[in-house]
Structure 1
Amino acid sequence: MRLHRVSLLGLLACAGSAGAQVRPGIDVVLADSAHLIAHKRLGLLTNQTGVDAARRRDVDVLIAGGYRVTALFSPEHGFRGLEDRSGLPDALDSASGLPIYSLYGGTPLSRLGALDSLDALLVDLQDIGARYYTYPASATQLMREAARRGKPVIVLDRPNPIGGDVAQGNVRARAGDPDSAFVGFLPIPMRHGMTLGELLRLANDRLRLHVALTVVPAAGWRRSLYYDATGLPWVKPSPNMPDLESAMHYPGTCLFEGTNLSVGRGTSLAFQLVGAPWLDTAAVLRQLREAGGGMRDALRGVEVAAVTFTPDAPTDGKYGGVALRGIRLRVTDRTRYDPTKTAVALLAALRAVHRDSLRFNERSFDRLAAGSDLRRALVAGRSPAAIARAWEPALARFRRARAPYLLY
């Protein structure tokens, strides 16, 4: 196994008192590990989430501190996190005057001469805690190119917003290529319980990138902490991730992106809702609450209720301007809630009630579910409990396999 450097002062700071304000990696590197970036020409992969504890942009803080940031890189949704479309071009940051090289449709990294003039690359992105998020893929693409050119990479770590104790859902069998398997390329479960820095340590090892990787941990964070216990301001990691409630449901409800149901895009409650014009909410809720096969067990820690909503210009193109009948989820007990089991139970209930209306986009759903097994099990009528039991051996192996990469 390849070893990775960890900022020692930052790691010691992780053992701070329970009531301490969490400091993200950008604050830790400037206060405790400035030698990592001093007197170097720096590139910075970041977006709107790359801010310090006072919500000041990394790029501004670094430049104000006399550090030489010469190039910016942006992931999906762009440098400001406002875009929800493919093919984002390179751009310019008007505040700093620095070029922004888009890793989501801009100049290919292999042809990017700006990398040659850099001494080190910084990565500061807020991951969401679910396999489907693409920021780890963008960071891994940059790491791979950095390794080819002999450039070190420094990750300014951030908390996992939905905690680091729990791993849930099915596990991707093996690592994919971050280019061809951009969504969910790592061999991790739907809810993985790792920070971005930990994920990139895993990626460096499993993909044999051999990049000189240093992770500066977030000081004061513990695996049991959700984001609202960190004292840090919530900055939407992507346009349709409005708050922590949405993030807690996302490892499950994201699966509905691969169906003909809306997930609430175009509303203020994205990923807290599912709905469609044809949905019989009373019948589906009755199936969830009264049927066997693990349906009721899948509702532990969550409240489900009928709701109506109308998406306004949804970026997924589903039912814009159409009044939808739907189901809203609210977390009532974080310690008992498993969003992946709830999503599977809800899909099974929908299949039972609306066999002729529920549709899977096979390519999209299977990409999210890391293969066709889940879709085929649902179509075959397997119970939610049986589906979840089948995940357990791989989850147990993952919990053991992730241990060497954990920092907290």
Structure 2
Amino acid sequence: MRVLLRAITMTASACIAFSTAGCAWLGPRPAPLDAARFAPIDHAIGSVIAERRMPGAVFHLERAGMAYQKAYGSYSYEKGAAAVTPATVFDAASLTKIVATAPSVMLLAEEGRIALDAPLVRYLPECAGQGRDPITVRHLLTHTSGLPAGLPATPGWHGLARALELACSRTPTDPPGTAFRYSDVNYILLGELVRRVSGQPLDRFARQRIFTPLGMRDSRFVPLAALEAARIAPTQRLAGDGLRLLQGEVHDPTARRMDGVAGSAGLFTTAADLARFARMLLAGGELDGVRVLSRDSVRLMTTAQTGPAIVAQRGMGMDIDSPFARPRGKLFPLGSYGHTGFTGCILWIDPASGTFYVLLSNRVYPDDRNNILDLYARLGTLSAEAVNGFDFAALHKTNPAR
């Protein structure tokens, strides 16, 4: 297991120890994180690995310039499998929606090239009819379009054109804006929206406008074009394909049929890259003097935009309070936000305390049968317990979760 305990920026106080023994925080104020609280995090993750519910993971917890990052386990359960390191690249699955697709849409909205409350058919006219005309860009971003959750797998299909044809033929089961349903179809359509409006495929647009400006050096779609497979954690062995191992090839079947680039899935990344993305959001859209998103775009992505008639609270991308908000745990307040990925990934951010944590894992190895949802909730609680000098209880009294 590899561990890194460090200061992100040089401030009046600095974390100077680089070991599991603890962190010596020097300065006039208490350490932002309590190093004594890291051991329960290690135990929670280590227990899931020991139960063979995931072979390996990287965890990153950060607040106010102090970070705890640790790698656990191996790439697989096979003897001699490579150990996971902090630099291991993981298939981030649905984190694609909040790290690539939603920010890309917001950038185009900032430039006046997309209107968030405009109907989808203004940009994708082939989606007209069968109750789809009232669907707006906002409905897609907040999963309130009424569209079903996914595209059919049979009969077999391949390619962007066929994916768009299928997505535009889905019939809403609820009037747009009246109900929440988490749907990959929404973000497949948004990925195509980015391509139509910008003239660039989503992967290229996100790389040029988000990943490169933020210094997210290992974040990309179709990573084998630039990265060695040995750096990428494997996901699943495909039973119907001679047990072919997915390593550097997207796990999500729909994104795989779309050649690895979809608005719903396809991003590969590292914990360090996601930490940079989280710092940018906490700083209102800017990092290291480089502005990536406007403050208003960050606000729209990270605060409730679903309206009072819908119980689930979602931003234009981020989950805030829905059945999928397990990573909030018991202490982070309503107003914290984030997302999960099917392969076993979390990004969760609490702006009130200035804290965020990342989990990247390959829990779908080898057969997509493992469940680590209990770990999601546990890590949210343990991460909040490691925050020093912040009264989460007071926030819960003034802003209780629905």
TM-score band, normalised by shorter chain: under 0.3
Q: Which has the higher contact order (CA 8 A, sep 6+)?
A: 2
Q: If the length of structure 2 is used for normalisation, what is the TM-score?
A: 0.26
